[in-house]
Amino acid sequence: MQEYRYQDYANVELLDEDGQQLFMYNSAAFVDYLRGAVDADDWERVPDSASDLSDDWQFFDEIFGWQVSSQYGPNKWQATEGAAKLFNRVSQYRASTTELRDHDERPWQVCAEGLEKYRETLREHKRCDFARLLERFIEFLDDDAGQRFVEGEPDRDRPPLQHVLVDEYQDTNPLQQELYFRLLDSLEEPNIAVVGDDDQALYRFRGGTIECLIRFPERVRDRFGVSVETVQLRTNYRSTVDIVDWCNRYVTDYPLMQREGARAPGKEPMIADREDTEGR
């Protein structure tokens, strides 16, 4: 976005995880809402004597875990970390803040409003975090600068976009998936190859969901009207037979992996192709 001089991303500082939390600690009203320190109806700070204004933080108890006192609720740093996780997931799962505003449960309504205010505050201060970076890139594709990126600039030796290649697709989240599909929208024919292993999905803490990999053929067909060729890479050149056999048994016997949607349908066990390493 900077290389193509996208005006909406000019002079923007990209925040890492620590930077995001420091920014939210100082600037996100939703953090104080989780602590019961602001009235979410008008986002005005309440007196300390009214700090028990809301117990809505308990609605989001899962994002805090065991570290928060059930009696006193989260301190400001705990509320900051919880708010960051919550806002990141809402963006990564592409939940609509408009629909959340109409939710029957008030905490989701406040979450939607808090996220919208957070996005506005980031823009006002020329900041961007990783989850919002993907949102900004999707907006970039609708801009003239994004079109130059997609269509290429022959006079500047910049070729057009021709194909999309994605590795580690098992860790893709819905927001990333939408970004890839939006890139494909710009091509005359969708040209994408993804590589992933549903048994190595490790990034749920960053919003990754195995569903994106398992349902990839279905979603490409629904979105673009084309079929996907699936090739299973079964041969393991790294590990010995004993290790590969143990992994095959463990993965297939583990109860959670037997649930529908946990693994790609029809997946065959791995095959080892490495000489024994004993004595090396």
Q: What is the pLDDT of residue 19?
A: 97
Q: What is the pLDDT of residue 50?
A: 46
| In contact, 83 and 60? CB cutoff 8 Å | no
Rounded Cα distance between 5 and 3, Å, is: 5
Q: What is the pLDDT of residue 54?
A: 61
Rounded Cα distance between 80 and 56, Å, is: 15
**Residues paired with residue 272 on neighbouring β-strands, in sequence order:** 236
Q: What is the pLDDT of residue 46?
A: 64
Does the pTM of the predicted model rise above 0.85? yes
**Sign of the Cα pseudo-torsion (103, 215, 200, 163, in order):** negative
Q: What is the pLDDT of residue 137?
A: 97
For the chain, the domains span 7-134, 162-272
Rounded Cα distance between 129 and 146, Å, is: 20
Q: What is the pLDDT of residue 205?
A: 72
Per-residue pLDDT of the chain (280 residues; tens, 9 = 90+): 999 999 999 999 999 999 999 999 999 989 988 887 777 777 776 655 444 446 778 888 888 877 787 777 888 999 999 999 999 999 999 999 999 999 999 999 999 999 999 999 999 999 999 999 999 999 999 999 999 999 999 888 899 999 999 999 999 999 999 999 999 998 888 999 999 999 888 877 778 889 999 999 999 999 999 999 999 999 999 999 999 999 999 998 989 888 888 888 888 999 999 876 565 5
Rounded Cα distance between 209 and 155, Å, is: 41
Q: What is the pLDDT of residue 63?
A: 83
Rounded Cα distance between 262 and 204, Å, is: 13
